[in-house]
Structures are given as C-alpha cells and as structure tokens.
Amino acid sequence: MPTIDLQGKNAVVTGSSRGLGKQYALDLAAAGANVIVHDVNEEAAAQFNEAPSGSAVASEIAAQYGVKSYFVAADLSDPEQTKRLIDRSIELLGSIDILVNNAGGDIGANTPRPDPNDALDISVEDIRAVVERNLLSTMYACKFAGLHMRERRSGKIVNVGSIAGHVAVKNGLIYAAAKMGVSQYTRSLAEQLRPYDVNVNCISPAPTYTARFLATRTVQGQEERSRLQQIAQPKDMSDIVMFLCGPQSDALSGETIVCWK
C-alpha cells in the first residue's frame, strides 16, 4: 500500500492524550496532519503514567513532526462541551478534515470499571456513565463535526467501537451494547452524509495493550498463541485507523472493521 500522505489535513482525535488515542494522534501527525489532542482534562494523560499532561502530548507531537498540535479539554458526555471542542478545533486549525471518535471505555461512574458489571446488578449510575462515555459522546461529536463537514462537502469520520459489541458477553454488557450502537450509528450516519462526500466508518478493536488495559486486567501468557490470537499492540489498531483516514479508503463508507482475536 502506498504511504498515507495527510499533509495539510486537520484532525481531531478524542481521548488522545493516552492509550490508543495517543497512538492514533502520533500516526496522523507522522503522516503530516495537524492534530487536536483531546481528553477530559489536562491530568488524564498522567492517570496511568503515559504522559505528564495533555498539553505535553500536543507539544511532543508538534516538536517531533513539525505540525500544528494543540490540547483541548472537554467532557464529551456534555453536548455543550463537545460543541466547544469542535468549535475550538476549527478556530485553532481552520477546519476539521478528520474526526477520530476514540474517547470511551468500560468506566464506571466512580470506579475504574463498573462493579458489578453485568446487566442486572450493575448500578443505574454505571449504566448511564458507560452509555454516555461511549455512545452519546460519539453521537455528539459526530453531530457537531458532521455539520461542519457537510457544509464543506468533505471529511472523514472514524468511530471506535469494540470487538465486545460483536460477541455475547457476561461481563461488560452495557459497554458491549453501547459499542454495538456505535457500529449501527456509523452505518446510518454514513448514509446521511454520503451525498456530501463525507466518509463515516468504524473500527472495532481487539483487546490491545495500553496502560489502562494492563492496569485493569490480568493478562495471561501470550507466547504460545499465534499472531492473530495474541493481544494486539496499539500500532496494529492504528494502522487500520490510518487506512480509514487516508485516501485509500475514499470509496468506503458505512463499514465496521472488526478486529477478531
């Protein structure tokens, strides 16, 4: 595949001061795109010791790749804050060509993960928190960025689901349902934006090594597993996101790439 060239493109990656989102932001910048780094606050980057702050990540990207990069904080469960993120991104960069809706996670209202984390014993507060962080936040960001892209008749949106949304699960049911909702929402939004040359696709990542993943799960030995059975590395997932952001996917819209492991 030819090298992905995103020179002059402007990208917003939600939840990108850490984890998979940070890898997406780094790779977009390496391809030449200006990048808005986002997280719920400046301190989120340091939660699992991945970076000192959100602003530090943006400064690292700008210095390393010679692109524009800024940090913008917003709680995406709040539609007003989401709108401000999109408006501020346009103000800083001039436009948004690429939106990667990465922010989310199986995170409880007051705990790293809901506990209990099933369908019946889970607290109502945790149900609301998981749906807001994964499904509603994606819808809000797509709404406000999508209006901008529709007006410009150009853009690429990549929503991030999860393999959990494509299998039956006993743990993390609300998270799985919210991520399946992201996939269906992607398919339908793609149809609405198809007449305006805006591509909308989704990636459903496999379990991937991130600092949060390692801090909240016990990982069994991987040595005896094949490459396609092992827990993925962030670059494995980022390569797929880069394909969806680049010109090689210009004819693809409304699809979900499910990364089975």
Q: What is the pLDDT of residues 60-74, one digit of tens each?
A: 999 999 999 999 999
Residue 216: pLDDT band (50, 70, 90) is low
Neighbours of 5 (CB within 10 A): 12
- Is 70 tagged catalytic? no
Q: Would you state the pLDDT for residue 201?
A: 98
Please report, as a single letter, which amino acid is at residue 167: V
DSSP 8-state code for residue 205: P
Q: What is the pLDDT of residues 122-131, one digit of tens each?
A: 999 999 999 9
Which domains are present in the chain? 10-258 (3.40.50.720)
Alpha-carbon gap, residue 199 to 201, rounded angstroms: 7
pTM: 0.94
Q: What is the pLDDT of residues 137-190, one digit of tens each?
A: 999 999 999 999 999 999 999 999 999 999 999 999 999 999 999 999 999 999
Residue 1: pLDDT band (50, 70, 90) is very low
> Which of 24, 70, 140, 175 does the annotation list as catalytic?
175
Alpha-carbon gap, residue 42 to 251, rounded angstroms: 37
- The phi and psi torsions of 25 (rounded to 5 degrees) equal -65, -45
The rounded percent of the chain whose pLDDT value lies above 90 is 86
Question: Is the Cβ–Cβ distance between 129 and 137 less than 8 Å?
Answer: no
Q: Please state, in angstroms and as integers, the Cα–Cα distance from residue 200 to each residue in 3, 11, 92, 186, 224, following that order.
A: 21, 14, 23, 6, 37
Q: Please state, in angstroms and as integers, the Cα–Cα distance from residue 104 to each residue in 95, 129, 179, following that order.
A: 24, 10, 9
